[in-house]
Structure 1
Amino acid sequence: MSQDTTDLLKVLATTLLVFAAGTLVMLYAIYLLAQYGANLPMVGALPLRAPPELVPLLAESRVFSTLAAVHVTASGLALLLASTTVDMALLIAAKAVAVVIAALLGFAGGHMVYLQLSEGAALNLNPLLPALLVLIGFLLLSTVLSVPALRRLGNLRFVLGIAAIILGPLLLIWL
């Protein structure tokens, strides 16, 4: 495993843990504010029991799978061209989306721990499975299947580029 991959995995793990801890602290701060400062302006309006609808909405909305499909198609185009700037832009985009998904999963994990500790709710990771799969996909797109890595294959990159252009739209159907 290269140093870049190791660093990316460290960033993803740290992001997940920081967002999980931040969510847990935030929810307990909201709980304490609601308990002891409910008559303060706007504190009573903070949601306590309702699970955030944003996590399943983002995980199941196909936003990230659509980005993955577009990224694969754009990677195919980049393999047919010779542009270091485009290669770097796709690599940075893949890493950035992976970090955003890790933050989303960290938020969901922190919220689930909060619900487990405060209400004894069962942990259900099924709604997060699509986001986890797309995270793995973007991890691959930013390491093994990145344009700079595929460009090292010489003229085979043209075949892979055409295959990626065809595979991109098919991913919309499969994901």
Structure 2
Amino acid sequence: MSQDFTDLLKVLATTALIFAAGTLVMLYVILILATYGADLPMVGSLPLSAPPEMVPLLANSRIFTTLAAVHVTSSGLALLFSSRTVDMALLITSKAVAVVITALLGFIGGHMVYLQLTEKTAVSLGPLTPTFIALLGFLVLSSILSVQNLRTLGNLRYLVGIVMIFLGPMLLVWL
């Protein structure tokens, strides 16, 4: 495992923990304010139910699938040309999307802990499967299948690039 990938995993773990803790604290502060400060201006209008209602919407969003498909197609195009700037842009994008997905998972984790502590709701990770798959996909795109790594294939990179250009739209159908 490269140092770059190890650093990315550290960032992802820290992001998940800080977003889970932040969500848990935020929901408890909202609960406390709604319970004890409802007569204060603007406090009574805090949407205690808004963050939990967003969880299914965020987890089942096809935006990550769409971004992965476009990223694969863009990587294919980048392999046909030579541009360090495009290579770096794709690498940064795949890492950034992985961090955003991890932040979402941290939010969902904090929300699940909150529901477990306040309402004894059962924890179910089944609906999050597409989000975990998207995270895994972007981790692969930022490491093994990064454009920089694929360039080491020499002239075979052109064939891989063409395959990736056609694979991108197919991902929209398969995922």
Shorter-chain TM band: over 0.9
Percent identical residues? 73
The correspondence of residues 11-26 of structure 1 with structure 2, limited to 5 A, is 11-26=11-26
Aligned to 1:9: 9
Aligned to 2:58: 58
1:130 counterpart = 2:130: yes
Q: What residue ranges of structure 2 are gaps of 5+ in the alignment?
A: none
* TM-superposition CA deviations, 1:119-171 (whole Å, max 9, x none): 10011112211111000000000011100011111111111100100100000
RMSD value over aligned CA atoms? 1.1
- 3-state SS, counterpart of residue 150 of structure 1: helix
CA distance in 2, matches of 1:51, 1:86: 36
The correspondence of residues 44-55 of structure 1 with structure 2, limited to 5 A, is 44-49=44-49, 52-55=52-55
The correspondence of residues 95-174 of structure 1 with structure 2, limited to 5 A, is 95-174=95-174
CA distance in 1, matches of 2:49, 2:58: 20
1:86 counterpart = 2:75: no
CA distance in 2, matches of 1:149, 1:6: 16
- 3-state SS, counterpart of residue 38 of structure 2: coil
1:53 Cα deviation from its structure 2 partner: 2.8
- 3-state SS, counterpart of residue 33 of structure 1: helix
CA distance in 2, matches of 1:112, 1:83: 44
- 3-state SS, counterpart of residue 57 of structure 1: helix
Moved more, 165-174 or 58-67: 58-67
Moved more, 27-36 or 83-92: 27-36
1:51 Cα deviation from its structure 2 partner: 5.5
Query: Alignment length, in residue pairs?
Result: 175
Moved more, 48-57 or 28-37: 48-57
* TM-superposition CA deviations, 1:33-79 (whole Å, max 9, x none): 11221111121122334653322212212100000000000000000
TM, length-normalised to structure 2? 0.96
- 3-state SS, counterpart of residue 40 of structure 1: coil
Q: What residue ranges of structure 1 are gaps of 5+ in the alignment?
A: none
Amino acid at match of 1:142: S
CA distance in 1, matches of 2:132, 2:174: 15
Amino acid at match of 2:86: V
Amino acid at match of 2:16: L
